[in-house]
């Protein structure tokens, strides 16, 4: 197994995952995972999400969420979210009001949100949140 990876079993599927803390954009994070022989994590079942949350301790001790990129992205031309392996979304755990597809900062600038991160937040738990793909946050790689 590659250094830093943890083996997890979710049902009949066994995968190796690694949490990276260096903040990167979604595209840069995907390139890192690919250079390690994998991709951004695909969370396609509740069981897999539960195991990943526990093994990688995805939580925040404050009201400010911790964000970690996963391998899900919105494709406008297809009007749907697809995983990095081009498979459609079948399981989800969106936060309240998500996916929103846009976000407005305090200056009034509107950002398109096409990439998806796990968000861990005190009092809200772990949920999915679409973010601007240029937003920099940690990420989770997966190697089968």
pLDDT one-digit tens code per residue, 1-46: 778 999 998 888 888 999 999 999 999 999 999 999 999 999 999 9
Confidence at residue 122, expressed as pLDDT on a 0 to 100 scale: 74
pTM > 0.75: yes
Domains of the chain: which residue ranges? 6-143
Confidence at residue 35, expressed as pLDDT on a 0 to 100 scale: 96
> Rounded distance, CA 40 to CA 125, Å?
21
pLDDT in tens, 73-100: 999 877 899 999 999 999 999 999 999 9
Confidence at residue 139, expressed as pLDDT on a 0 to 100 scale: 97
Best CATH choice for the domain 6-143 from the list 3.30.390.10, 3.80.30.20, 3.30.2040.10, 3.10.100.10:
3.10.100.10
CB atoms closer than 10 angstroms to residue 19: 18
CB atoms closer than 10 angstroms to residue 93: 16
Strands 115-121 and 125-131: antiparallel
Q: Are 92 and 107 in contact (CB under 8 A)?
A: no
């Amino acid at each position: 197994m590659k250094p830093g990876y943890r083996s997890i079993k979710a049902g009949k599927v066994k995968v190796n995952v690694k949490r990276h803390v260096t903040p990167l954009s979604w595209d840069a994070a995907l390139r890192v995972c690919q250079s390690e022989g994998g991709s951004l994590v695909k969370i396609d079942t509740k069981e897999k999400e539960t195991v990943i949350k526990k093994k990688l301790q995805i939580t925040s001790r404050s009201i400010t969420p911790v964000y970690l990129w996963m391998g899900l992205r919105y494709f406008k031309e297809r009007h749907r979210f697809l995983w990095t392996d081009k498979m459609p979304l079948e399981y989800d755990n969106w936060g309240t009001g998500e996916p929103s597809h846009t976000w407005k900062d305090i200056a009034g600038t509107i950002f398109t949100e096409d990439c998806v991160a796990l968000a861990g937040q005190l009092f809200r738990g772990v949920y999915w949140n679409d973010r601007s793909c240029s937003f920099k946050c940690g990420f989770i790689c997966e190697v089968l």
